Protein backbone atom coordinates (compact mmCIF):
# COMPACT_ATOMS: atom_id res chain seq x y z
CA UNK A 1 0.00 0.00 0.00
CA UNK A 2 1.15 3.53 -0.69
CA UNK A 3 3.03 4.98 2.30
CA UNK A 4 1.46 8.43 1.84
CA UNK A 5 -2.01 6.89 1.94
CA UNK A 6 -1.24 5.02 5.18
CA UNK A 7 0.18 8.16 6.78
CA UNK A 8 -2.82 10.24 5.70
CA UNK A 9 -5.31 7.64 6.94
CA UNK A 10 -3.53 7.27 10.27
CA UNK A 11 -3.35 11.06 10.76
CA UNK A 12 -7.08 11.27 10.02
CA UNK A 13 -7.87 8.47 12.49
CA UNK A 14 -5.71 10.18 15.10
CA UNK A 15 -7.35 13.58 14.60
CA UNK A 16 -10.95 12.34 14.59
CA UNK A 17 -10.29 10.02 17.52
CA UNK A 18 -8.78 12.90 19.46
CA UNK A 19 -11.66 15.25 18.68
CA UNK A 20 -14.31 12.70 19.69
CA UNK A 21 -12.41 11.80 22.86
CA UNK A 22 -12.06 15.48 23.81
CA UNK A 23 -15.77 16.01 23.17
CA UNK A 24 -16.68 13.12 25.47
CA UNK A 25 -14.30 14.38 28.17
CA UNK A 26 -15.68 17.92 27.92
CA UNK A 27 -19.24 16.62 28.20
CA UNK A 28 -18.35 14.56 31.27
CA UNK A 29 -16.73 17.60 32.92
CA UNK A 30 -19.65 19.89 32.10
CA UNK A 31 -22.36 17.30 32.80
CA UNK A 32 -21.14 14.46 35.06
CA UNK A 33 -24.40 12.57 34.49
CA UNK A 34 -23.65 12.36 30.75
CA UNK A 35 -21.71 9.10 31.18
CA UNK A 36 -24.91 7.13 30.75
CA UNK A 37 -26.27 9.28 27.91
CA UNK A 38 -26.26 7.98 24.35
CA UNK A 39 -23.79 9.57 21.95
CA UNK A 40 -26.55 10.35 19.45
CA UNK A 41 -30.23 9.80 20.07
CA UNK A 42 -30.68 7.32 17.18
CA UNK A 43 -27.73 5.09 18.16
CA UNK A 44 -27.97 3.46 21.60
CA UNK A 45 -24.25 3.57 22.47
CA UNK A 46 -23.23 5.17 25.78
CA UNK A 47 -20.89 8.16 25.89
CA UNK A 48 -18.29 6.37 28.00
CA UNK A 49 -18.01 3.54 25.45
CA UNK A 50 -17.66 6.04 22.59
CA UNK A 51 -14.87 7.78 24.51
CA UNK A 52 -13.03 4.51 25.09
CA UNK A 53 -13.28 3.50 21.42
CA UNK A 54 -12.16 6.96 20.29
CA UNK A 55 -9.13 6.77 22.60
CA UNK A 56 -8.12 3.40 21.13
CA UNK A 57 -8.58 4.75 17.59
CA UNK A 58 -6.40 7.77 18.31
CA UNK A 59 -3.69 5.57 19.87
CA UNK A 60 -3.65 3.18 16.91
CA UNK A 61 -3.70 6.08 14.44
CA UNK A 62 -0.79 7.78 16.22
CA UNK A 63 1.34 4.63 16.38
CA UNK A 64 0.73 3.74 12.73
CA UNK A 65 1.53 7.34 11.75
CA UNK A 66 4.80 7.27 13.71
CA UNK A 67 5.82 3.84 12.40
CA UNK A 68 5.27 4.84 8.78
CA UNK A 69 6.77 8.32 8.98
CA UNK A 70 10.17 6.88 9.99
CA UNK A 71 10.57 4.82 6.84
pLDDT by residue (tens digit) across 18-38? 999 999 999 999 999 988 888
Q: Where are the domains of the chain?
A: 3-69
Backbone phi, psi, residue 42, to 5° = -95, 0
Extended beta strands in the chain, E state: 38-40, 43-46
Reported as a pLDDT band with limits 50, 70 and 90, residue 1 is low
pLDDT by residue (tens digit) across 47-68? 999 999 999 999 999 999 999 9
| Alpha-carbon gap, residue 50 to 46, rounded angstroms | 6
Q: Above 80 in pLDDT, residue 7? A: yes
| Better pLDDT: 24 or 69 | 24
Q: How many CB atoms are closer than 10 A to CB 14? A: 20
Amino acid sequence: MNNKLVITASKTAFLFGLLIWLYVIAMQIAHPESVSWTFVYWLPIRMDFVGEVAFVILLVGFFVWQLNSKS
